[in-house]
Every structure is written in structure tokens, then in C-alpha cells.
Structure 1
């Protein structure tokens, strides 16, 4: 493996998981750029402190609209790896839900409301014909199709055009009974299209379970409940376990998944879907390397 400094671009690097991916990459001495609409994180939303941590000063916090490639394509030049970490859990102001500005019930109502969007798997798509999806208008809410699928495909197209070696996509271990099926189907559609349309670029599709961290106190009881569900999963009929999805999959700490993402990108043999057991294995491998 080359000892040259690697360049990583994280789209959505100011989010809960994205910021931790940036942190893990900085700890390896990588050149890290985050791209998001708002630039640097509001630290109180992603950590336990409103002040930026020391590692944050080593990240280039850039602003760009994911649906406007002309704004961020120059930032992808020379990148070894690009990560898409911009999906949404609810078709609502998710950060508003986290901070209390919008209720989870309101978000779920929006998620289950009638909505239609073209399915890219029902179309003949090539790297020449993938159109940029229309950007969200002022006051509109992002949809699963836009954020979980179309933005990832568009970013992958730009990354491939820039000769990026590997593309990481933050997918999910599964859906959940409280979420509409479109949440997970749009993620699987993104995986399939990216793998098919950009074969020269190593696609790594991370499928994390529910993520928790002490900086987000509300995630701790949810993680405990999910852990209990994972213990009883083996007693459930197959169809029931499949219906429960990630609700019965062992949760992981966000830092574990972040370390796994960086380690997987660094290992040329890792490609395709990366499930929960492999995420844990990759994270452990990465931390052991850091102790050497």
C-alpha cells in the first residue's frame, strides 16, 4: 500500500456520522475535506460541546449543494476516496427533530404521506444519462428518493469522472417497522445503480445498524432496546425478523462505524456491501493499526 497522504472527501461530513468519519481519517494523517450546505458543523448537534474539537481544525469545511455538481466537482480533483453520508431517516427536518424543533410524529406523518418519484432501476441509466435531480426548493422537505438515492448516484457519477479510486456509501442494515419501506429500498437502489454504472470505481456500501453515542443522550435508551431486540432475534420466525429490520440488529457506537469506514477505504480488497459483523471487524483492525 502506498505511503503517500490519502485525500478523502466526505459529503455530509458535518453530520453525526460524517463528522466522525472525518475525525477517524484525520487521525491517520489524511487530507480531509467535508462538503455540505452549511459548512462546519454546529458542534452541539454532533458532539457534547458547542466548541470545535482540536481535530476539526485539520478539516477543510466546504459549502456546496450536492445537487449542483459545478459547485463541488473541483473539490473532488485528486481525491483518493469519496464518501456519501447524507441520507435521511425521516422525510422531515431531521435536525429539527433531534433538537426538538419538530416532533418525531410530524416527521413520521410526512414519511408515510403519498409520494411518487421515478425509480432509477426501472429506467435504462448510463453514466451519460443520469440527470441531476432538481434541488430542493425553499420550504420543501427532502425525500428519500432525493437524499438516499439520487444524491448518491449523482455524487458517484462526479467522483467516477474525477478518477476517484473508491466510493463509500452509507447505507443501512435494514428498515424498521416505524419507517416506510422507501427508506431502505431507496438505499438499496442507490447501491445497485452505483455498483452497476461505475464498475471502475470500487464501491463500498456500508450497512450500519442503529448508531448511538453519549453525546446524543436520546440514542442510549434506543440502543439498549435495540440490543435487547438483537438478543431475541434468534427466537423470531424469519419473516418477523425481516420485518423488524434494523430494530433487531445489534447497535453500534458511531465511532466504531466511522473507524470501519476509513479502514475499509484504505483496504483495496474491501468492496460491495459491508454488514455489521464486518464493520466491527474492520474497526478493530483499524484501531490495532493505530496502536502499532
Structure 2
């Protein structure tokens, strides 16, 4: 690895998109570190094979709890870019839904449950100012994962640590919008995270990527879902976006996960890109990145 190589830390690098962000960064010769509770991915859950791809050998797969900064602050030192790619779709163990161990109906019932644990403050920094501990108490089980904790608070906490280390740019994987089947807090917590990070850490370039529904043939069920989302996008376009508020991300053009990953890396590398990055710009950045690899 060249001494001049840029360094990126991807929190959630074992996920569907996070692993692809690692791949895209490796393709540029960057020094890549992934942070997650599991360390290395279960490859069959993010690719079409149970064996690690060749590029995976060039990633440092580290274990850390995002709610325990002491476990990973040393890994942020010298980083040019830090990415948060850890949000949850359902306030339940949605991975059980994806793997077939829990029915989608049961997952949605748990997501909409009125008994879900919630946090009232939209800014965990305010809790620290009030004298509470800097570290947020992690969930004791998967059933305690909430939108406030995973989509918002974990991102703000990571951004705070990144800013301390003078990281040049912080990438946050947000979303194009909600969806009719998801609670409104799914998207509202993501927007809250964007607002707080932009306001509290102005010296660090915040880039808020807002992908639509993402698909890949390695997850076969995403292909027909992408087709349905594409139909919704076409309908929304020809009707002048009349249903944008209702459809949310389901009304946006779906994108291949690899293209979104390429767009994230390209956007971080371009110092002129900052703030919200919507679907059309994601497509432009992804295409720009792809063309560079063809030269």
C-alpha cells in the first residue's frame, strides 16, 4: 500500500452496501478499514458466494461496538474519510426477516409496536452537555434496536469522534425517503442525523448520500422488488410526482448497489460534493467513477 494512499474507515462495512463501499475504495488503492461487531462479513449474506472475494484480503476487518468509542478511536486516526453505513430498516432483527427466520409480517408488527424503546432527544450531544455519560448505552439485544439509536444517535456519535480526529469528510448513508410500509420515524431519524451532523461539525465536510431502493443479483429477492420500484418511479414521473410524499423511496428510481457504492467513494473523493446527495447525483457520481476505471 502506498504511503500516500487515502484512508477510509467504513462503519458497517460488513453490510449489503458497506461491503461494496469497501470494494470500491480498494479498487482505488485506498487503505480500507471496516468496523462492525462481527469483524469479517458472512459473505453469503452480501455476495453470491460463501467465499471472500479477492479484494477482501486488502481490507482490515475490525471488531468494534459503535456505542463504545474507546474500542475504535485509534482506528480513526489519520483517516481521510469515515462512513456510517449502519442504519436499520425495521426496528426488529430485520436480518432474520431477510434470511427467512422471521416472517415479514412479524417484523412489521414489531416495527410498528407502540412499546418500542425510544429516545426523546434528537441530539445525543445534548445528553452529554446535560451531564450524561459520553458513551451511549448499547442495546442489550437485537429487539432493542431503535431508529433513534441506529439511524441517528450512532451516526452523530461516530461523527463526533471523526471530527475530533480532523477527518476531512464524513459520509452518512441516509435514504431517498421513507416507504408506505415503514414508520415515519425511519426517515425522520435519518434527516435528524443529517441536520445535527451538518450543524455541529461544520469544519468536517458532511456528505449525506440518499440512495433509493438498492438491488443486486446476489440477493435474488431484490431484483423483482427493484422492478416494482422502477414501475412506481415511472408512474410517479409521468404523474408529475403527485405521489412522492406517499411513495417515498418507492417512488424513486432503484439503483444497483455497486453503483451506489461507487458513488459514495467518488463523492467523498470530490471535495466539491457536500450536503444531501439525491438519486440523480448518485447516478452521475457512480457513472463518473465507473468511467475512471475504464480509462
Per the normalisation by structure 1, the TM-score is 0.95
Between 154-163 and 128-137, report the one with greater CA deviation: 128-137
Which residue of the partner structure matches residue 37 of structure 2? 37
Conservation of the 8 A alpha-carbon contact between 2:96 and 2:102: yes
Which residue of the partner structure matches residue 24 of structure 1? 24
How many residue pairs were aligned?
A: 289
Which residue of the partner structure matches residue 169 of structure 1? 172
Instruction: Say if 1:127 and 1:117 are closer, same or farther in 2 by CA, change over 3 A.
Output: closer
Which residue of the partner structure matches residue 51 of structure 1? 51
Instruction: Say if 1:128 and 1:201 are closer, same or farther in 2 by CA, change over 3 A.
Output: farther
1:128 CA displacement = 5.9
Question: What secondary structure does 1:120 align onto?
Answer: coil
Which residue of the partner structure matches residue 233 of structure 1? 236
Tell me the distance in 2 between the aligned counterparts of 1:217 and 1:136: 31
Instruction: Say if 1:222 and 1:165 are closer, same or farther in 2 by CA, change over 3 A.
Output: same
Tell me the distance in 1 between the aligned counterparts of 2:58 and 2:192: 34
Tell me the distance in 2 between the aligned counterparts of 1:139 and 1:237: 40
Which residue of the partner structure matches residue 94 of structure 2? 94
1:127 CA displacement = 8.4
Instruction: Say if 1:287 and 1:184 are closer, same or farther in 2 by CA, change over 3 A.
Output: same
Question: What secondary structure does 2:25 align onto?
Answer: helix
1:93 CA displacement = 1.1
Which residue of the partner structure matches residue 223 of structure 1? 226
* Partner deviation per Cα, 1:227-277 (whole Å, 9 max, x = no partner): 001001034475632111011110000000000000001001100000000
1:64 aligns with 2:64: yes
Instruction: Say if 1:273 and 1:139 are closer, same or farther in 2 by CA, change over 3 A.
Output: closer
Conservation of the 8 A alpha-carbon contact between 1:127 and 1:157: no
Question: What secondary structure does 1:34 align onto?
Answer: strand
Instruction: Say if 1:255 and 1:124 are closer, same or farther in 2 by CA, change over 3 A.
Output: closer
Structure 1 unaligned spans of 5+: none
* Partner deviation per Cα, 1:179-223 (whole Å, 9 max, x = no partner): 000000000000000000000000000000000000000000100
Per the normalisation by structure 2, the TM-score is 0.94
RMSD between aligned residues: 1.8
Which residue of the partner structure matches residue 276 of structure 2? 273
Question: What secondary structure does 2:144 align onto?
Answer: coil
Tell me the distance in 2 between the aligned counterparts of 1:48 and 1:162: 36
Question: What secondary structure does 1:227 align onto?
Answer: helix
1:248 aligns with 2:254: no
